[in-house]
Copies of this chain bind each other. A is one copy, B any other.
Amino acid sequence: MDNTTQPTTAKNCTTFYGGQTGAWRVLSFNTLCGSPLLWVSHIEKSEAAPIPGANGYIWQLQGVASYLRYTTRPEKNMLDEKPSVLGRTEASYAAMISLKKSDEWWQLTQDERRNIFEQQSQHIRYSTRYLPAIARKLYHCRDLGGEFDFITWFEFAPDQSGQFDELVDYLRHTEEWKYVVREVDVRLVREEG
């Protein structure tokens, strides 16, 4: 029986805190388009809703690891063969790429978005090539009312940096990216200790 008020924050969300401390130290911080996000020296990633009254950070972003929005069964089977594992010891580099897409994108129907996302842009097919070396996890923010629609978190070994650049360069030249109106690319290294 539910006779209490419902929490007003997502229970299954991940929070990214930007500030002067955190497990990940910023190597580069670039706003590619749209309104900039304030530079910070560190990011802390917490698999929890924001801590009420948490302080000491400059910004916080939330996202939810939600269900698959475009992936088909054959694509899911392909992805399952190359699992994306975060937290690997050798993967001391990370990237946090935050995106917002245009209203035009969100007003498209499901089949139109899928067509741009995969048939035209091969988002799944192309990026799967980089698995499992470049592990990733997608967090949805749009329904939470956040300033971004998505945050993707990547982890890889330092010697995979060139491969990672190749992947994001590919994506940024796709038809899908024509709908991106804000993009912030933060590269990070795991703090020793």
Which chain A residues have a beta carbon within 8 Å of chain B's beta carbons?
1-13, 35-38, 49-50, 57-62, 64, 66-73, 75-76, 106-107, 109-112, 114, 140, 142-147
Grouping DSSP codes into helix (H, G, I), strand (E, B) and loop, the A interface class, with mixed when no group exceeds half, is: loop
Contacts of A70 in B (CB 8 A): 110
Q: How far apart sit A67 and B143, CA to CA, in the bound complex (Å)?
A: 9
A71–B109 CB distance below 8 A: yes
A4 to chain B, nearest CB (A): 8
* Total identical chains: 2
Contacts of A71 in B (CB 8 A): 109-110
Contacts A59-B6, A145-B12 given; indicate if A1 touches B35 (C-beta within 8 A).
yes
Q: How far apart sit A60 and B111, CA to CA, in the bound complex (Å)?
A: 34
* Contacts A/B (CB < 8 Å), 10 sampled: A1-B35, A3-B58, A3-B59, A10-B144, A68-B110, A69-B69, A71-B110, A110-B110, A140-B143, A143-B143
Contacts of A9 in B (CB 8 A): 8-9, 145
Contact of A73 among B7, B38, B112, B142 (CB under 8 A): B112
Q: How far apart sit A66 and B143, CA to CA, in the bound complex (Å)?
A: 7
List 10 additional contacts besides A9-B145, A70-B110; criterion CB under 8 Å: A2-B36, A3-B59, A6-B60, A8-B50, A9-B9, A64-B145, A69-B110, A72-B109, A73-B112, A75-B109
